[in-house]
């Protein structure tokens, strides 16, 4: 945390080191020895962001129509969904999971789960969260702890040991009511894969971290990619890097 404090300082981001007593001004569920506090943290709501992009660029978004299969023919490509077939000369798969077109060995799969407690009286929430904040632990498989309206929230990498984690952070105040989960893939070098994987098939396979930033950067490169052009960023993220390293 002290190293991170210096890095934030060099970047000009306001920050404070919190001791045990300082942290209790925000969260009383359990004790922490040290904390790093800063408020410069951007959050993006993915659904609203995607909807505004679609409206701005007049794009049609089809919900509840998952990709089922892909057929290649002399006339082009045919993608099947649950209720339609789409013909195209070129296809771009933008995804954070599958299909990966035979590159599975270069990925590792990760997951996450958000658990919400049953609704609690506001005074009970206030006794645990004196001031609403988001606490982020520093382990590699970090935990995220925060309140949301009248519920306590615990966000974890895995469901394993979730009862122990709930007791660890919230003692007996947390009774599980709702859970959401998701899975994603991440390349071993933590960079996305952006490039051609087959004739007329292109991919922009995101990674678990920095997904929105990398997704926006990749999207700006799509016209160049589909036009079979390249630059430094596309060379860096090309699937060729894996096969060239093996050779």
Residue 185 near residue 97, CB atoms below 8 Å: yes
pLDDT of residue 214: 80
pLDDT computed for residue 180 by the predictor: 92
Residue 246: the pLDDT is: 56
User: CA-CA distance, 219 to 94, in Å (whole number)?
Assistant: 9
What pLDDT sits at residue 52?
Answer: 93
Nearest to 130 by CA among 27, 233, 237: 27
pLDDT digits (tens, 9 = 90+) for 183-196: 777 888 888 899 99
Opening angle at CA 197, ends 46 and 64, nearest 5:
35
The per-residue pLDDT for 188 is: 80
- Structural contact between residues 51 and 35, judged by C-beta atoms closer than 8 angstroms: no
CA distance readout (Å), 240 to 173, 208, 222: 51, 21, 17
Q: pLDDT value at position 28?
A: 93
The CA-CA-CA angle for residues 201, 205, 209, to 5°, reads 170
Given this model, what pLDDT does residue 42 score? 66
247 residues of the chain, pLDDT tens digit each: 999 899 988 989 899 999 999 999 999 999 999 999 988 766 778 789 889 989 999 998 888 888 899 998 888 899 999 889 999 999 998 887 777 888 888 888 788 899 999 999 999 999 999 988 899 998 888 899 999 989 999 999 887 888 999 999 998 889 999 999 987 778 888 888 999 998 899 998 876 566 677 888 888 999 999 999 999 999 999 999 888 765 5
- DSSP label at 79? E
**pLDDT for the residue numbered 238:** 94
* β-bridge partners, 196: 202
Q: How many residues does the chain have?
A: 247
Q: What is the pLDDT of residue 165?
A: 93
CA dist 221 → 5, 94, 99, 241 (Å):
34, 12, 20, 18
Q: pLDDT value at position 135?
A: 93
Q: Which of 177, 65, 192, 44 is nearest to 119 (CA)?
A: 177
């Amino acid at each position: 945390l002290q190293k991170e404090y210096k890095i934030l300082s060099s970047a000009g981001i306001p920050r404070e080191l919190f001791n045990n007593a300082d942290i209790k001004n925000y969260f009383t569920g359990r004790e922490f020895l040290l904390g790093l506090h800063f408020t410069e943290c951007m959050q993006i709501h993915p659904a609203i962001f995607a909807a505004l992009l679609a409206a701005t660029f007049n794009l049609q978004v089809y919900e509840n129509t998952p990709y089922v299969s892909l057929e290649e023919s002399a006339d082009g490509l045919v993608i099947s969904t649950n209720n339609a077939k789409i013909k195209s000369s070129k296809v771009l798969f933008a995804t954070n999971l599958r299909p990966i077109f035979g590159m599975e060995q270069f990925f590792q799969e990760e997951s996450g789960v958000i658990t919400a407690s049953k609704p609690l009286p506001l005074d009970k929430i206030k006794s645990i969260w004196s001031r609403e904040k988001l606490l982020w632990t520093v382990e590699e498989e970090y935990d995220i702890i925060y309140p949301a309206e009248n519920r306590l929230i615990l966000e974890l990498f895995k469901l394993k040991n979730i009862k122990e984690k709930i007791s660890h952070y919230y003692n007996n105040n947390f009774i599980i009511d709702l859970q959401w989960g998701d899975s994603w893939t991440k390349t071993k070098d933590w960079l996305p894969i952006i490039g051609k994987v087959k004739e007329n098939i292109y991919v922009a396979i995101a990674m678990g971290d920095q997904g929105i930033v990398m997704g926006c950067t990749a999207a700006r490169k799509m016209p160049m990619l589909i036009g079979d052009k390249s630059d430094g960023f596309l060379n860096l993220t090309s699937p060729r890097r894996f096969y060239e390293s093996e050779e």
